[in-house]
Amino acid sequence: MPSDLKYQNRVRILKAFRSGEDFTASDISAATGISKLTVMRAIQFFCSTGVLIMTGKGSSTDVGGKKPDCFRLMVEKNLLCITLWPGALNFALYDILGNRSCYREIPFELPTDIDEVFRKLEEYSNSFFTDNNIDRSKLYAVGLSTAGTIDYKTRRLKYSSLNPSWGSDIPVADYLKRIYGSGVEVFIENAGKMAGRSVLLNRTYINKRVLVLFTTWGVSSCLIENGHILNGKDSLIGEIGHMTLDPNDTEVCGCGCRGCFERIIEMKRVRAHIKNHPPKPDTILAKVDPDDITLSLLFDASRANDAYARDIVASLGRCFALALRNISLVYNSDVVIFQGDYSHADDVFDAALKDEASAFRYFPSEGAFETHYDTRSLFELDGRGAALALSDLYFENPELYSE
């Protein structure tokens, strides 16, 4: 990538416009520390390439004088974000600034044959484009979020323990380029990291070590270090659901091992416990068939001071504490953010988690980490994370800044 000063200044200047607001050259100069003359030259360059447009006049200074010109980012490019998860196939269209224009959720049982997966994806995608009158010529990039580990160099899905019949080293980028065109940029990401990436839109976390927990059909995570997502050479960083918590557990996980974290806390295991140790007749959960008990219902019963539900919720909190304590030995986070099902956890869960964690004497007395609970839809978080990744692809393109 070019390293000359002009190039680097252009990158910083254009980054300052990514909020989508109107700015004067003085505004950008103040925000970046780059001289007003250099800023104005860069703005003229971006106007000549159609990336920026002049939108009018700004306000005069306190001493009066000529009103300055205002400029704004003007990029008519679309970003298509696809969620390909167990039970769901979603499409969301964003502009380059991350504003969503249209969205569709489709209940979707994943086929066991990978060719059929992408045949159906193309069929639903065509319908989405047609129904929303989307101009395909403006499509800049496609992002796909799915379960499994990703090879970021080849843009292949290495393996998905939830979909073993798909095989390994699946050329996802090739499938997408066949559907959307060879000139379209493609980004493939693990579901937990795609949803976790949305945290980067909140500047509160930019300079922190953040662990984002993705909790729904399983458990995975996104580890963020000062605004950068950690992956590792085999894309295994974050696959905490396959951390062994009980090597004597009898159930074999889809990953091939026993005692995995996500197997121990899954609702199937909780329901089995309730069947084997039924609640007393006067409890909330006694009125519900164990097979119909959800994590949400469990948290609601706990909030309603159901002692039986509170015991189960506390045990889940302690299990998370054990996993987070193990993670802290290799990645000591400032903040742990829960997304998905466990984002709706109650105070009993949080207190049990922190109490259990406090037993580890290497943690500071004031607490090992902050816990935040983001209750927004995982689909929304996934889309926002995907749009950010695709927008970054656009702004990281060297051709944008070169003569």
Report the percent of the chain where pLDDT is more than 70: 98
pLDDT for 12: 96
Other CB atoms within 10 Å distance of the CB of residue 36:
15
Same fold, 78-196+381-399 and 203-374: yes
Over 70: is that where the pLDDT of 308 sits? yes
- The domain 78-196+381-399: what is its CATH number? 3.30.420.40
Q: For the chain, give the mean pLDDT.
A: 94
Beta strand segments in 1-152, E: 52-57, 69-73, 78-85, 87-95, 100-108, 139-146, 149-151
Over 80: is that where the pLDDT of 348 sits? yes
Decide yes or no: CATH 3.30.420.40 for domain 203-374: yes
Q: How confident is the model at residue 250 (pLDDT cuts 50, 70, 90)?
A: very high
Element (H, E) at 157: strand 156-159
Mean pLDDT, to the nearest integer, of 189-198? 96
Angle between helices 25-32 and 5-15 (to 10 degrees): 110
Q: Which has more confidence, 180 or 161?
A: 180
pLDDT for 154: 93
pLDDT for 1: 43
Mean pLDDT, to the nearest integer, of 85-90? 96
Given a contact cutoff of 8 angstroms between Cβ atoms, the answer to whether 35 and 43 are in contact is: no
Architecture per CATH, domain 5-74, reads as Orthogonal Bundle (1.10)
Given a contact cutoff of 8 angstroms between Cβ atoms, the answer to whether 386 and 143 are in contact is: yes
pLDDT for 3: 58
| DSSP result, 26-54 | HHHHHHH---HHHHHHHHHHHHHTTSEEE
Over 90: is that where the pLDDT of 15 sits? yes
- Domains of the chain, residue spans: 5-74, 78-196+381-399, 203-374
Q: How confident is the model at residue 194 (pLDDT cuts 50, 70, 90)?
A: very high
Over 80: is that where the pLDDT of 56 sits? yes
Summarised one tens digit per residue, pLDDT across range 160-178 is 988 999 999 999 999 999 9
pLDDT for 64: 60
pLDDT for 48: 96
Summarised one tens digit per residue, pLDDT across range 211-242 is 999 999 889 999 999 889 998 877 889 999 99
In this structure, of 23-37, 47-61, 105-119, the range with the lowest mean pLDDT score is 47-61
